[in-house]
Chain A
Amino acid sequence: MERNQLLEQVNAIFIDTLDDETIKISEATQASDIPEWDSLTHIQLVVAIEKHFSIRFNSKEIQSWKNVGEMIDCIQTK
């Protein structure tokens, strides 16, 4: 899947999980850029992404992400 398609799909997951239609993420987006993206919603984002793409992350991978781009890098390795 193309990287921009991945970003679109991840954006849709953010909108659904964080219940905010206005969210528009980029590869540089960090948790501090989105008020609803806290430690609890982060868990729900990870679960939703794992479900959507039928993949599994490990805790080290998740802890290493500094922004959405690194999250997408990780999805692409699966």
Chain B
Amino acid sequence: MVFSVGDTYNQNFTVLDETYKGFIHLFKDNNPLHTDEQFAKMKGFADKVMHGNILNGFISYFIGECLPLKDVIIHSQQIQFKNPVYLEDELLFQAIVTGVYESVNVVEFQYEVKKKDLKVVAKGKFQIGLLL
């Protein structure tokens, strides 16, 4: 088994303009919180808030491209949003293996996404299956 409980994996992400615009182009979520700076400021945010589900895209990339195996499939994924993310924010994704179930080739992780100031913007869990 490639994974052991306690193994940690880190990956940096930046919310680029092309990611933000690409998300809107693909999913048509033009809610003013995400697209209208003045609206977002009226609601108490520092700027337009990036769509929380952009983070799920980063998680998909992390699982599909950054783990030591490509033979993986996502079984489940949970996310809790803790703080807003803004355009060009640099994010650190940190995941730790919390469970390994060799009998069924399953690995569970907990993760946190932090800004450079270490403020947590999201946390959650995901479970992957190994296609061995």
Given contacts A43-B75, A43-B129, contact A57 B99 (CB under 8 A): no
Q: What are the residues of chain A within 8 A of B104 when measuring CB–CB?
A: 42-43, 46-47, 59, 62
A46 lies within 8 A of B103 (CB): yes
**Could you tell me the distance in whole angstroms from the C-beta of A46 to the nearest C-beta in chain B?**
5
- A-B contacts, 29 of them at CB < 8 A, read A40-B75, A42-B104, A43-B75, A43-B104, A43-B106, A43-B129, A44-B75, A46-B101, A46-B103, A46-B104, A47-B99, A47-B104, A47-B106, A47-B108, A47-B127, A50-B101, A50-B103, A51-B99, A56-B101, A56-B102, A56-B103, A57-B103, A58-B102, A58-B103, A59-B102, A59-B103, A59-B104, A61-B103, A62-B104
User: Which of B99-117 touch A at CB < 8 Å?
Assistant: 99, 101-104, 106, 108
Distance in Å from the Cβ of B64 to the closest Cβ of chain A? 19
A50 to chain B: which residues have CB within 8 Å? Answer: 101, 103
Distance of B102 from chain A, by nearest CB (Å): 7
> In whole angstroms, what is the CA distance A51 to B103 when docked?
13
Q: Which of A50, A51, A58, A61 has the most CB of B within 10 A?
A: A50
Structural contact, B101 and A47, CB atoms closer than 8 A: yes
Residue of A nearest to B103 (CB): A57
A22 and B129 CA atoms in complex are apart in Å by 28
- Complex Cα gap A43–B130 (Å): 12
| Chain B positions 49-87 with a Cβ under 8 Å from a chain A Cβ | 75
